[in-house]
Structure 1
């Protein structure tokens, strides 16, 4: 069964889901940071995805997010990528000593004492990762956001401005709940990753050739009011002078999804050993 595109007038209750393919050389989805360290979560945050949508739609940083906050998010990990640690140094282009992190009573940063002209920072990125994000909400709003993604008002980024996305970014609108549309959408990993998985599976089955299964298991995190986990990544405002966040509940799943291989092996393949356990097989490694 493949995902069903939403009709122009939406479904019966006026709800739909917008699917985004979040892929690029680098991504970084931080939910916390310090002055000299920028972390990334292993999958996109709601703050990052709503920020991408807001940029596409032309929101200013000070604009209200009231119409975007009720949207629900689900993220499927199609290709987890690897963690990259990037080494940075910071200095003042005018040759002046760097200011202190703290400020005076008048709100002015003092120079470092003794003078410090170079500061080391560490930043983390996900490299070669691919995610499918599903955003659920009113069909009219999602249709507008889909059009904005295809012709964005501002440049789009995968968490940070230095991380542009590859195309296609929008996969269009679908009908159904988050878990359903994420289960029905074909695997979006890169061709090289998919072929590597097929060759590895063929070796495990003793076929002497690649195996092309019809389905594969992928992990997903779905926003759920009754979820058993809490993440603190819901943006209340992107205003630089009044940024704020709150929490949401999520539920984690393993989803069986279509691989999208042009040909699939459904016969003449010995079954996998049910007693064998290889956690990396689920990651396609």
Structure 2
């Protein structure tokens, strides 16, 4: 029997955008990372060419799930562009992003493959990005690699990964439960939704995605404190000074 494992990622950055149904001048984002977006991140780190469907296939076979640790805020941007040769203005487009969001993504499958991907994330061939090239991560993406693990247990047990400022803001009323979106197994009888984010090909001339069944569930806020990456927050001193200052209504 092939040894299995779970690769865990922390996806955090100023902006993220995970489109599953973007068309023409309206580029939307889902409320959580898509499988196609995360597989694309891993393929880029491993140096897999976007036209190499054979090399991509083992990655797409991995089972995927994500936990929403910090929902973030949806924002909209109007994007303008000009043709590189003629200088003619291109159509105005709307692009949607998630600001200040943090997710825990997990992939379950062949442990040897996950080990190679874990190594690739630490020395990526191409730099990782969070859905779009304009959305770099705020810190290291790789979080952990677990042997003989299950996706459900991992997404339930990984410590809460919300940013330090978010934890301070919610220290008196932290969330009791976190939302998990996990890929449904064939023997699972849980109700599921579908999303067209199962990648079949990333070829620029013929991108293809299939429908994927997703189970949504709530898990208790995990115990323990995470080993968060060191972040420089220029407003941290100001935030700490104002933490205990009452607002006008309560003064």
Q: TM-score, normalised by structure 1?
A: 0.73
RMSD value, Cα: 1.8
Partner deviation per Cα, 1:121-157 (whole Å, 9 max, x = no partner)? 1100000000000100011000010000111000111
How far apart are the structure 2 equivalents of 1:250 and 1:119? Answer: 35
Work out whether residues 236 and 243 of structure 1, in 8 Å CA contact, stay in contact via their aligned partners in 2. yes
Runs (4+) off by over 6 Å: none
Instruction: Report the alpha carbon displacement of residue 242 of structure 1 after superposing the two structures with TM.
Output: 1.6
Q: 1:59 to 1:246 in 2, by over 3 A?
A: same
| Aligned residue pairs, count | 219
Map of 2:149 onto structure 1: 176
How far apart are the structure 1 equivalents of 2:167 and 2:143? Answer: 19
Work out whether residues 143 and 173 of structure 1, in 8 Å CA contact, stay in contact via their aligned partners in 2. yes
Any idea what SS the aligned residue of 1:126 has? strand
Instruction: Find out whether 1:87 has 2:74 as its counterpart.
Output: no
Tell me which of 73, 76, 89 is aligned to 2:64. Answer: 73
Work out whether residues 185 and 257 of structure 1, in 8 Å CA contact, stay in contact via their aligned partners in 2. no
Partner deviation per Cα, 1:149-208 (whole Å, 9 max, x = no partner)? 111000111000010112231111124211101111000000111111113x2xxxxxxx
Map of 2:100 onto structure 1: 128
How far apart are the structure 1 equivalents of 2:221 and 2:108? Answer: 19
Map of 1:222 onto structure 2: 182
Instruction: Report the alpha carbon displacement of residue 91 of structure 1 after superposing the two structures with TM.
Output: 2.3
Map of 1:246 onto structure 2: 210
Tell me which of 123, 144, 167 is aligned to 1:194. Answer: 167
How far apart are the structure 1 equivalents of 2:67 and 2:193? Answer: 16
How far apart are the structure 2 equivalents of 1:192 and 1:19? Answer: 23
Work out whether residues 62 and 109 of structure 2, in 8 Å CA contact, stay in contact via their aligned partners in 1. yes
Larger Rg: 1
How far apart are the structure 2 equivalents of 1:119 and 1:138? Answer: 44
How far apart are the structure 2 equivalents of 1:32 and 1:261? Answer: 36
Unaligned runs of 5+ in 1: 1-11, 98-116, 202-212, 263-285
Unaligned runs of 5+ in 2: 227-251
Q: 1:57 to 1:261 in 2, by over 3 A?
A: closer
How far apart are the structure 2 equivalents of 1:82 and 1:231? Answer: 21
How far apart are the structure 2 equivalents of 1:157 and 1:60? Answer: 16
Work out whether residues 61 and 238 of structure 1, in 8 Å CA contact, stay in contact via their aligned partners in 2. yes
Instruction: Find out whether 1:236 has 2:200 as its counterpart.
Output: yes
Any idea what SS the aligned residue of 2:214 has? strand
Any idea what SS the aligned residue of 1:86 has? strand
Map of 1:14 onto structure 2: 3
How far apart are the structure 2 equivalents of 1:37 and 1:26? Answer: 17
Work out whether residues 19 and 135 of structure 1, in 8 Å CA contact, stay in contact via their aligned partners in 2. yes
